[in-house]
Amino acid sequence: MTDLKTGIRYPFPTPPAEGEAVTVALGVLWMRLPLPMALDHVNVYALDDGAGWTIIDTGFASKRSRAIWEKLLAGPLQGRPVTRVIVTHHHPDHVGLAGWFIQNGATLCMPRTGWLMARMLTLDVQDVPNAESLAFYKRAGMDPDVLDGRRTERPFNFADCVTPLPLGYTRLIDANTITIGGRTWDIRMGGGHAPEHATFWSRDDNLVIGGDQLLPSISPNLGVYPTEPDADPVTDWLQSCEAFLAFAKTDQLVLGGHKLPFTGLPLRLRQLIDNHHGALDRLRAHLTEPRSAGECFMPLFKRQIKGGEYGLALVEAVAHLNHLHQAGLATRVLRPDGAWGFQTT
């Protein structure tokens, strides 16, 4: 299947059904787990290591996810154990059940930053948002009604959907290699969507494991959060995409964390770069007067944002405004309403 609009090809157009797997290469299985959000799935992969399996990412820690994994272990994974878990980055849909597999005998490999972030965030449990978080959202120009609702609501906590990680793990390091499923893979770290996001590039065939760094049809969220309110993930993202272009080939089969496996990676990387440059250009044209992140959805996303998408849209708007500010392309002033107002220089 080919996307006629973009030219990206999808050799496996039908995703695996729940509890089933699709073989995408020799010894490589593609599976899916559900997510309770607009992006309603995460892709996970199992690579045959002989005595057992190495799995790439895990899904949320939930009763349903564990039940699906039990079905996968008994079915497509043939009752053989998961001996190693590799986590591409610290987000809960990717690391959520890593601790569960480790409790059942697997070892853990992931980037150091991801391990530290996941360990820290599982300990940071809040019943209501703290004052620092509320101040961050006010500075971002969050809709007052949304902000008032958040004051008394339980915020998202990693501990709600991520099992505790072990004390020990094996660190994945940029430019090193790793053997998985009878192949030697180059480890290349990306950034922007998550700090130190691991991708894997096979030296033996045309496979690339991209996590959320290399996705078709959607761009992963580039968000700024109260933990680092002045972060500039847009710069990290653009630099990563440019660096990956040196290694990208048209015939590589990219196994991403969401959507379908695809080929055409050089084109897709250029699209991802151009998408954010275009958004930044529209944003600069919009900033004729001091505007908050909450007032920048239309130029960035070209549509109104409501409901469950609002929070992710807000933190992505902050990311793009921070980028313009730190690049010297916009000024920032604190408005009387308590929000940062950004204006094109």
pLDDT at site 7:
79
In a domain, 291, yes or no: no
**Which helix (H) or strand (E) segment is 235 a member of?**
helix 233-245
Residues in the chain: 345
Which residues have a Cβ under 8 Å from the Cβ of 76 and sit 6 or more positions away? 20, 21, 29, 31, 46
- The number of angstroms, rounded, from the C-alpha of 313 to the middle of its chain's C-alpha atoms is 14
- Give the helix ranges, DSSP H, for 92-184: 92-95, 98-103, 112-123, 131-139, 144-152
- In 118-216, where do the E strands start and end? 170-172, 177-180, 183-190, 197-202, 207-211
Give how many domains the chain has, as a whole number: 1
In a domain, 13, yes or no: no
Mean pLDDT of 30-34: 98
CATH code of the domain covering residue 185: 3.60.15.10
- For 263-286, letters b (16+ CB in 10 Å) and e give bbbebbbebbbeebeebbebbbeb
What pTM was estimated for this model as a whole?
A: 0.96
User: Letter for the amino acid at 106?
Assistant: A
In a domain, 174, yes or no: yes
Residue 6 has pLDDT above 90, yes or no: no
pLDDT at site 1:
77
Task: Show the domain range for 236.
Answer: 22-285
In a domain, 199, yes or no: yes
User: Letter for the amino acid at 304?
Assistant: Q
Give the 3-state secondary structure of residue 182.
coil
The Cα 156–Cα 176 span in angstroms is 34
For the stretch 315-325, pLDDT in tens is 999 999 999 99
73 neighbors 53 (Cβ within 8 angstroms): no
pLDDT at site 265:
97
Residue 252 has pLDDT above 80, yes or no: yes
- The number of angstroms, rounded, from the C-alpha of 67 to the middle of its chain's C-alpha atoms is 24
180 neighbors 85 (Cβ within 8 angstroms): no
192 neighbors 236 (Cβ within 8 angstroms): yes
For the stretch 259-295, pLDDT in tens is 999 999 999 999 999 999 999 999 999 999 999 999 9
In a domain, 254, yes or no: yes
Burial of residue 10, with CB atoms counted within 10 A of its CB: 0-12 exposed, 13-18 middle, 19 or more buried? middle
Mean pLDDT of 77-87: 98
In a domain, 132, yes or no: yes
In a domain, 309, yes or no: no
User: Letter for the amino acid at 341?
Assistant: G
User: Letter for the amino acid at 20?
Assistant: E
199 neighbors 208 (Cβ within 8 angstroms): yes
Both tokens of 72, joined, read: 């996968």
Q: Report the DSSP beta bridge partners of residue 254.
A: 208, 262
Which residues have a Cβ under 8 Å from the Cβ of 269 and sit 6 or more positions away? 214, 241, 244, 245, 248
In the chain, what percentage of residues exceed pLDDT 70?
99
Residue 3 has pLDDT above 70, yes or no: no
In a domain, 205, yes or no: yes
Both tokens of 19, joined, read: 């509890």
For the stretch 159-199, pLDDT in tens is 999 999 999 999 999 999 999 999 999 999 999 999 999 99
